[in-house]
Amino acid sequence: MKRILRWSAAFVVFAVLGAVAWYGLRGRYGPPPPGTIAVRGGEVFDWPPPENATHFRQSDPRWGETAIGGSGEAIGAVGCTLCCVGMAFEQFGIDTDPEALNRSLIELDGYTEQGWIKWNAVERGAENRVRVTIHDRPSHETIDDNLKSGKLTLAKFFLPLGIPHWALVCGKQGDDYLILDPALKDPRPIPFSKRAGAIVSIRSIGRR
């Protein structure tokens, strides 16, 4: 009986992992899942990223082991959103880094128990110098408009095996967006299509 239960538990685990992996890979190599958009699309134009744009790597030894608020997990493991917000702040002339921003958000009660950032705390952390917009659904039109109007887009997607991740959209090359990815060591912007096939969710951040 115990052997049957072990096999049943193992089957459930593999089934769940398989489903998660399928979702992640489908988004990259197949049509985007319902409710998402392809990483390539919208108007075709070139929009170069800012020169010398700040890139924060979440596993940087200066802050990689620092615990975020709420869940207490390490920035190196789950700090992609935090790093993207920090990179956006830097582009808007707000001096920060992931460790300092994390400390500020903790003081502002800016994390949920799960460790998710509260977006109104982001605005307060910037002394209301920025405005964050939460969109019901992602759209190429919004991302394109953000680029043209000086706003930045935080984009959520799934890595292989279905791991959720965020990157900062900072430019466009034809129909492919350029991103700064906090998981990568290379600080240069890369085509979004090299990291994913579908965008799941977006946040807009711009100057007030």
Q: DSSP class of residue 13?
A: H
Q: For the segment 39-64, what is each residue's pLDDT rounded down to a tens digit?
A: 999 999 999 999 999 999 999 999 99
Tell me the three state secondary structure of residue 151: coil
DSSP line for 81-111 = HHHHHHHHHHHTT----HHHHHHHHHHTT-B
145 DSSP 8-state letter: H
3-state secondary structure the chain: CHHHHHHHHHHHHHHHHHHHHHHHHHHHHCCCCCCCEECEEEEEEEECCCCCCCCCCCCCCCCCCCECCCCCCEHHHHCHHHHHHHHHHHHCCCCCCHHHHHHHHHHCCCECCCCCECHHHHHHHCCCCEEEEECCCCCHHHHHHHHHHCCEEEEEEEEHHHEEEEEEEEEEEEEEEEEECCCCCCCCCEEHHHCCCEECEEEEEEEC
pLDDT grade, residue 24 (50/70/90)? very low
pTM of the model: 0.85
Distance in angstroms between the alpha carbons of the first and the last residue of the chain? 64
Contact 198, 138 (CB under 8 A): no
SS3 label, residue 42: strand
Candidates 19, 22, 32; CA nearest to 156 is: 32
**Residue 169 confidence (pLDDT) above 60:** yes
Across residues 5-18, what is the average pLDDT? 47
Report the range of poorest mean pLDDT among 19-28, 46-55, 97-106, 145-154: 19-28
Structure tokens at 47: 């929009």
Average pLDDT over residues 130-142: 98
What phi and psi, each to the nearest 5 degrees, are found at residue 105? -65, -40
Determine the pLDDT at residue 17.
Answer: 46
Among the four given CATH numbers 3.20.20.80, 3.40.190.10, 3.90.70.10, 3.30.420.40, the one describing domain 2-207: 3.90.70.10
Domain edges within the chain: 2-207
Both tokens of residue 184?
């990568």
Task: Note whether 122 and 85 are within 8 A (CB).
Answer: yes
Q: What is the pLDDT of residue 1?
A: 54
